[in-house]
Amino acid sequence: MTENKMNNQIEYMKRPEVEAAFEKYNTVILPIGATEQHGPHMPYGTDTYLAHEMSVRLAKKIKSLILPAMPFGYSWVWRDIPGSVVISVEHVKGIVKDIAHSMARNGMEKMIIINGHGANDSALKYAVRELSDEINMEIYYFTYPGLKEASKHSESEKWHGMVHACELETSWLLTVYPELCDMDKAVKEYPNDREAVKYHNSSLPMGALSNSGVFGDATKATKEKGEVMMEELVNYMFDILEGK
């Protein structure tokens, strides 16, 4: 166990260490992800792993504690794929609010939510708005922060703005856990544009659009691009938090 984890990540700390940390820090980071398919080449925990990695990297730049990553989210679009765990929007919102209330009661003055799963975004938006009327805590939430800047380093196009098991997400995971990526099984798949219209204007799930579960070109992913893009994501959050 590294000293950094012992000092910053609550799940690895014992009670005396946590009590001392809550005296030292006034900011806490909550990583939130999902448990759902990411094509034939990446694991179900991808969103959670990425949210956690961004949290660790951001915590190195600011003075902050890190909560255990929340591994479940609103994954309705993959509900028919074995192993998918679906939490309703209301439950995601409620859990985040409960965590925030707990941290405020413990004396935290700021909470930063780092989300690695796009479908959680609406729940976070309304949770943060409601919390602003309930507790005296400064709260930020980020979903794919700095995506525009990071996307400049990719070679392939996103499918109608979608980020799922594509070059971007695969490159990020190659940077974090290369041993969990099986690039021999990475594929390129772009559902047709007519399906995109249906998806954005109906209840058609993503699971009905892609045979592989990939939306984009995962074969273009590299660890090197992932490292550059990951830094873009973290720097974007840091600049906002620091008011730059």
Question: What pLDDT is recorded for position 3?
Answer: 47
DSSP letters spanning 48-79:
HHHHHHHHHHHHTTSS-EEPPPB--B--GGGT
Max Cα distance, the chain (Å): 58
Q: What's the confidence (pLDDT) of residue 2?
A: 45
Query: How many domains, the chain?
Result: 1
Q: Name the one residue in this structure whose structure tokens are 């594929």.
A: 187
**Whole-angstrom Cα Rg for the chain:** 18
Q: Which residues contact 104 (CB under 8 A, 6 or more apart)?
A: 135, 136, 137
The CATH number given to whatever domain includes residue 13 is 3.40.50.10310
Rounded alpha-carbon distances, angstroms, from residue 100 to 12, 30, 67, 106: 20, 9, 11, 10
pLDDT at 164: 96
> CB of 67 within 8 A of CB of 95?
no
* β-strand partners of 30: 113
Q: What span, in angstroms and rounded, lies between the C-alpha atoms of 156 and 218?
A: 9
Residue 57 belongs to what domain range?
A: 3-241
Answer yes or no: are the C-beta atoms of 162 and 216 closer than 8 Å.
yes
How confident is the prediction along the chain (244 residues), in pLDDT tens digits per residue?
444 455 699 999 999 999 999 999 999 999 999 999 999 999 999 999 999 999 999 999 999 999 999 999 999 999 999 999 999 999 999 999 999 999 999 999 999 999 999 999 999 999 999 999 999 999 999 999 999 989 999 999 999 988 999 999 999 999 999 999 999 999 999 998 888 888 888 999 999 999 999 999 999 999 999 999 999 999 999 999 998 6
Contact 187/219 with Cβ under 8 angstroms? yes
Q: Is 222 helix (H, G, I), strand (E, B) or coil?
A: coil
Query: What is the per-residue pLDDT for 6?
Result: 55
